[in-house]
Structure 1
Amino acid sequence: MGSMIHLSVGRLEIDWGKNSGFTDHSPLFQPSDLTQVPYYYVDPDYPKKEGGNEYQYNIITELQDGLSKPLREVVERIKLLGYTLENAMREFEYLSETNSFDVDKFNFDQLLEALLTVDVAQMSLDYGDGEDFGKFFRRHLFARLGLDRIVDDPQYVKFNAGEGMENLSTYSILLLLAENPTARCLPVNWQFADVEAGGWGARDEFVRTLDPKHRFLIVTEGSTDAGILKHALKLLKPHLADFFDFVDMAEGYPFTGTGNLFNFTKGLISISVQNNVIILYDNDAEGVSSFNRSARLRLPANMRVLKLPDLPEFASNPTRGPSGDHEADINGRAAAIECYLDTRAAPIVRWNNFNKELGVYQGELIQKQDVMHAFYNLKTVDGDYDFSKIMRVLELLIHECAAMKEGEIASELEALMRR
């Protein structure tokens, strides 16, 4: 029979391979995800269930090494690989053409509706040959969900469209399943032990760090911004932290200041850098000025220029200047990254330099070193620390990175559809 390898959500097999013929799903996991996971085998002594149908077997379970991560975390990694519901829809349309099934009889929304209601956690263990998505589509979506009430021509969909569903990509299926509340908390398991034991793959082919082609280089105005972002990812998004690289700060940060960062951006464009790059400016007067200049450059598809987001909390903020203390909007004027940390009260900003281009004063957070030290001392997210503002920075960063990769996958699908 050979050595089998499976990627599953609970008992539902999303993808499988045999011997050396398998897909590399290591980008879905991190080395820390190595653990004991269940492997399902047909009982060699009593293989068939007494009184069962042709598909029903007696299953035994063994625990062996594998990779496991909750679907809710895996799906966030999938999006950073460029797979989104929009691209899943494009793929569905492509499969409808190549497999000649009519989307007027069965469409993407109907597939999503069906998957939203199936209880994946209650999948039967009876099927000794596993449940790939094509079999799952035929055996379960019709029998358990009443797809005959959703579609107009159930027999057509069951067989014709079912062939297309066998070719729906692994990551599209995972994205669709993640919309289902009963599936989001289930583990995604990569059961590679049999292939490893059979000599078809070494441990470091399965348990390894993320390839550089999947990562994003984040370049900020200074080492403070990079350090805060790295620590925030470690605390709030540890399952995504390996997607992000920062400029090496060991020998001193080489791009300090907005002017240097702007010139660096132009340099990356001129050499047609191949990395996926995010340039991130502060949301203060100098940062906005350089952000505006950078945004006018002809950026390649693998580069994005961002600034820290405007927040409503900063619209009326305590400030201090020559004329005393006043409430003012610090968005675009004084919201450096330290302001997005928990300052315990509204961050007090002191006005200093005047920016002629924007016609506003630049400001700086008072006691920013104390705010930073309190943040770096955090080891967990437990407690009453307010992460809401820095989380919005991470959400912006993750969203833009995912959008960059989404464009790559969309272009690949469009090229397939033109063939």
Structure 2
Amino acid sequence: MGTEIQLTIGHVSLDYAKNDMGNDYGFLFQDGDLTRWRSDAINYDYYQNNPEEQSELAAHEAAFARPLNRVLPRLQLLGYTLEHARAEYESLVDSTMETTDDDLPDEAEAASILTFEEFCSLACRYPLATLASDYIDFDTPDRAAIAQGRLANDQDDIRRLPWGGSSNSYWSEASYLSDKLCILSAPAMLQVFGTNPANAEVEVIWQFGPLVNAGWAAREAFQCGARRTQSILVATEGASDARIVSRALEILRPDVADFFRFIDVEERHHFWGTGNLVKFAEGLLRIDIQNKVLFLLDNDAEGVDAYRKLQELRLSANMHAMRLPDLDELRSIPARGPEGVSVCDINGRAAAIECYLDLNIIGYPPAQIVWSNYKKDVDAWQGALEHKESYMKHFLEQTSRGVSKGYDVSKLTRLLDALIDEASILHDPLEQRSTTLDD
């Protein structure tokens, strides 16, 4: 008979393989998601009758499990967005129309197929946690209607689905939904189910213990976390940038932090300044590096100039450059120059990464910028934040075990959102990347 392995959400199967590992879904999970999960594939009577084998039961039940709302950010970063699910669905609609008996697709028939929005509505009509999963015996009177559960009332909509390879093999409400509606890839279906907030806490489960126990795969094949081909090297101007962003990801975006790698965060930094960072990019282009690299630049005059130079290099698809985002809070910051102190917009002129921290520290004066030199290439003055090392030290102290109460992370949060958006572009081959200075 063999042994199956499935990726499920609740009791709904999204993908499966038999006597083989199948698709690797370890990237959906992180450390801490390894757990034990009861399985119909396990003979619990055997363990009951052989107590000396009880120690093996934990390995037999081994699985990764994670709530859907903590899986979706990982999918989003990798480019598995709801828009990708839409594109996948529309491709399936096109394929369905191409296989019609008529030489030309019938407009009325095409119009009858569910739109993507209608498909999402049907798939999410019943919260996944409420779907019945009890096995309905084949000799049960009216078995088909009973096994279909509430979906028996939705046949008009189900008949309007594009052809997705239904096997008409089902034994419960949950398995019927899987057979008829799970017609897209597992990542796409997870995005579809995520459109219903009621599904947020439903567990996504990849149980591998039975397959390993049966000898079809090695335990070492099942690892959680971002794969090397999925991780992104973030190249920054200095070590402080790397330390701050790395710590911020760990604290504020832990569900995707493992997708980002940094250069010498704790030891040293080989690419001090924007000039060396641009040279680093030139070197990577020459050797045609295949790793995904994101160059993260300050939102100051030096950063604007370096960003322009990186765009002129015409970076390959696996490399991208970004500046720290413009923020309204940085449009009215005191700045000191030859003519005294005045309130200025420091976006694009003096907003180094320390400006995105909480700038209120007891014992220090209000945050202030000091203008230093004029950058002719971008027609802007370069400035720097006074006491920036103190702001960084304060941030690292406040976040050593989480975010301290009262510490303002609002600017950092928007910085991370921008970083993650840029990272998702690196994973999205359909995304048209802008080469203009204004992102």
Common fold by TM > 0.5: yes
Please say which of residues 295-304 and 218-227 is displaced more in the overlay: 295-304
Structure 2 equivalent of residue 115 of structure 1: 123
Q: Which amino acid aligns with 1:362?
A: Q
Q: Give secondary structure in 2 for the equivalent of 1:402.
A: helix
Q: Tell me the CA shift for residue 248 of structure 1.
A: 2.8
Distance 2:149 2:252 in 1: 37
Unaligned runs of 5+ in 1: 46-61, 130-134, 411-419
- 2:77 aligned partner: 80
In structure 2, the partner of 1:176 is 192
| Distance (whole Å) between structure 2 residues aligned to residue 141 and residue 393 of structure 1 | 45
CA distance, structure 2, for counterparts of residue 179 and residue 195 of structure 1: 32
* 1:382 CA drift (Å): 5.2
1:318 to 321, 334, 343: 334
Q: Structure 1 residues 159, 367: closer, same or farther in 2, change over 3 A?
A: closer
Shift of 1:142: 3.6
Amino acid at match of 2:387: Q
Query: 1:6·1:17 contact (CA, 8 Å) conserved in 2?
Result: yes
Which runs of no fewer than 5 residues in structure 2 stay unpaired? 46-58, 101-108, 138-143, 167-179, 433-439
Partner of 1:228: 244
Partner of 2:68: 71
Deviates more, 1:10-19 or 1:172-181: 10-19
Instruction: Find the counterpart in structure 1 of residue 407 from structure 2.
Output: 385
2:234 is paired with a residue whose SS is: strand
Tell me the CA shift for residue 261 of structure 1. Answer: 0.8
Deviation at 1:332, TM superposition (A): 0.7
The 5 A counterparts of 1:45-194 are 64-99=61-96, 100=99, 103-106=110-113, 107-127=115-135, 139=148, 142-143=151-152, 146=154, 148=156, 151=157, 156-157=159-160, 160=163, 163=166, 165=181, 167-194=183-210
Aligned residue number for residue 428 of structure 2: 406
Query: Once the two structures are aligned, what percentage of the paired residues are identical?
Result: 37
SS in 1 for 2:403: coil
How much does 1:353 deviate? 2.1
Summarize the Cα distance change of 1:307–1:147 in structure 2 as closer, same or farther, 3 Å threshold. Answer: farther
Cα distance, 1:140–1:305 mapped onto 2, change above 3 Å: farther
Residue in structure 1 matched with residue 375 of structure 2 by the alignment? 355
Which of structure 1's runs of 4+ aligned residues deviate more than 6 A? 42-45
Q: TM-score, normalised by structure 2?
A: 0.79
Name the CA shift for 1:170/1:238 in 2 (closer, same or farther; >3 Å).
same
Aligned partner of 1:50 in structure 2 is: none
Contact 1:285 1:361 in 2 (8 A): yes
Within 2, Cα distance between the matches of 1:21 and 1:67? 14
SS of residue matched to 2:39: strand
Equivalence for 2:360: 344
Cα offset for 1:22? 2.1
Residue-pair matches, total: 381
Match of 2:396 in 1: 376
User: Counterpart of 1:393 in structure 2: which amino acid?
Assistant: L
Distance 2:126 2:288 in 1: 47
What is the alpha-carbon distance in structure 2 between the residues aligned to residue 360 and residue 276 of structure 1?
Answer: 31
Aligned partners of 1:208, 1:217: CA distance in 2, in Å? 19
Task: Note if contact 1:31-1:209 (Cα within 8 Å) is conserved in structure 2.
Answer: yes
- Is the CA contact (8 Å cut-off) linking 2:60 and 2:210 kept in structure 1? no
Pick which of 170-179 and 264-273 moved more.
264-273
String of CA shifts for 1:21-58, please: whole Å, max 9, x gaps. 5221111112331122343469999xxxxxxxxxxxxx
Q: Secondary structure at the match of 2:152?
A: coil
Structure 1 residues 358, 19: CA separation in 2 closer, same or farther (over 3 Å shift)? same
Q: Name the SS for the 1:298 alignment partner.
A: coil
Structure 1 partner of 2:291 = 275
Change over 3 Å in CA distance of 1:179–1:374 after alignment to 2: same
* Superposed CA offset, 1:325-350 (max 9, x none): 22111101110000101112763212
Q: Report deviation, 1:212.
A: 0.9
Q: Which amino acid aligns with 2:254?
A: P
* Residue aligning to 2:10: 10
Which is further off, 275-284 or 64-73?
Answer: 64-73
Q: C-alpha distance in 2, partners of 1:170/1:141?
A: 23
**Take 1:42 and 1:356, find their aligned partners in 2: how far apart are those partners?**
71
